[in-house]
Amino acid sequence: MNELDPSLRSSAALDASTPFPSPASGAPRARDAVRDLRPSQIREVANAGFGLDDVLPFWFGESDRVTPAFIRDAASASLAAGGTFYTHNLGIAPLRASIARYVSGLHGETSSDHVAVTSAGVNALMLAAQLVAGAGDRVVTVTPLWPNIVEIPKILGARVETVALNYGAAGWTLDLDRLLAALTPDTKLLMINSPNNPTGWVMSREDQQAVLDHCRRYGIWIVADEVYERLYYGEPGALTAPSFLDLAGREERVICVNSFSKAWLMTGWRLGWIVAPRALMDDLGKLVEYNTSCAPEFVQRAGIAAIEQGADFTLELVASLRASRDHLARLLREHAGIDVKVPAGAMYLFFPVPGGQNSLELCKALVREAHLGLAPGSAFGPEGEGFVRWCYACDLARLDVGVERLARFLAQHGLR
């Protein structure tokens, strides 16, 4: 508009003459809700070890084993056959059918039209939150907790209230009355993760029933993050931890989130699923369209192989994780003098460590000085301060070396 007026060509002149505030003034920045998200403290610790090549990385939630060959082969076969196109938003029909049969076997009759394929668990959590929570809504979570679940609703402008688990002689436990009291009639959504990352806490069936009854009364949605359901050591012979799907009808306000990452060691594939009321599925399809459009076909074909041929693999994995858990707990007691409680689920020990009052600083020092990579408890909420999380999904020899390093560090710092 100022093309003809040379006096207005300089930016100073433009600014002075602009009759409204220029949106271009100031540094470009994201909106406040995004800027207020907490950065990952685990990443901060990992950065402290940047350049060190022999750090033992127990900080992330994944196994050191590669995805089983039969699953990788299924993806290769699909790629060779040209499985490179967009698919249906809710996933290819044979995968939805496989998931429906799998869920039915574990938790009771579930049809394909209650199942949506997602780009792993974290995307499933985002989609579930987008489906039911919006700006200003009250969302309740139980902490300590994997930070993503606390931060996701905030991206949508929701308010997140947390209810802390208690730590005592029995390990981490839930005060059910406190949780029910927090689930006020104006609460929109409870996002709850069991088996829990980082504590390994497993919600009992009785507590699930009480929470479900309460949420039914007030119309509160439940998003149940059950990605660790198969990593359960609670009852001998049980194939899965207690699930909200065992108790709730499929048309109720319950959205269950799951993943291929943990039970079939497929973290890098980004494949998961949602079980939700049929009435949500069209809207869920729209959200998938606008987020990712679909999971890649060859990844979905790998998911079919995981479910159809992976039952024995998962049983063997769970047995080896149980052995690793018990091994690590024994080593920590015997060699580092740390009394760890052994939880019934997931793949972590989450324990108070001497000198860990500032767990972030302690974990940075552990990386720098002992080349030991642990996740600071404060990454999982204020009630995690003083604790560290150790992922034990690795071979026993690595755990041996890790505990040796921890014990040496504690001795050098006069902490034991």
Ligand X SMILES: Cc1ncc(COP(=O)(O)O)c(C=O)c1O
Binding site for ligand X (CB under 6 A): 61, 120-122, 146, 193, 197, 225, 227, 259, 261, 267, 272
Of 78 and 143, nearer to ligand X (C-beta) is 143
* Shortest reach from residue 266's CB to ligand X, in Å: 8
Of 137 and 225, nearer to ligand X (C-beta) is 225
* Cα 51 from chain centroid (whole Å): 28
* Shortest reach from residue 11's CB to ligand X, in Å: 45
Can you list the positions of beta strands (E) in 194-311? 221-225, 254-259, 272-275
* Shortest reach from residue 146's CB to ligand X, in Å: 4
Of 197 and 208, nearer to ligand X (C-beta) is 197
* Shortest reach from residue 409's CB to ligand X, in Å: 26
Of 61 and 303, nearer to ligand X (C-beta) is 61
First to last CA, the chain: 74
| Interatomic CA distance for residues 316 and 322, integer angstroms | 10
Q: Helix, strand, coil: what percent of the chain each, to 5?
A: 45, 15, 40
Of 259 and 300, nearer to ligand X (C-beta) is 259
Read off the DSSP letter of residue 387.
E
Of 121 and 343, nearer to ligand X (C-beta) is 121
* Shortest reach from residue 199's CB to ligand X, in Å: 11
* Shortest reach from residue 58's CB to ligand X, in Å: 14
* Shortest reach from residue 250's CB to ligand X, in Å: 22
Query: What tokens appear for 350 in the block?
Result: 């989450």
**Contact assessment for residue 229 and residue 241, using Cβ atoms and an 8 Å cutoff:** yes
How many residues are given for the chain?
416
Give the three-state DSSP class for 228: coil
Of 338 and 375, nearer to ligand X (C-beta) is 375
**Rounded-to-10 torsion of CA 108, 111, 117, 122:** -30
**Contact assessment for residue 386 and residue 147, using Cβ atoms and an 8 Å cutoff:** no
Which amino acid, 216? Answer: R
| Interatomic CA distance for residues 113 and 127, integer angstroms | 17
Q: How many CA atoms within 13 Å lie on the side-chain side of 371?
A: 9
Strand-by-strand arrangement of the 159-164 sheet? 115-118, 272-275, 254-259, 221-225, 187-193, 138-143, 159-164
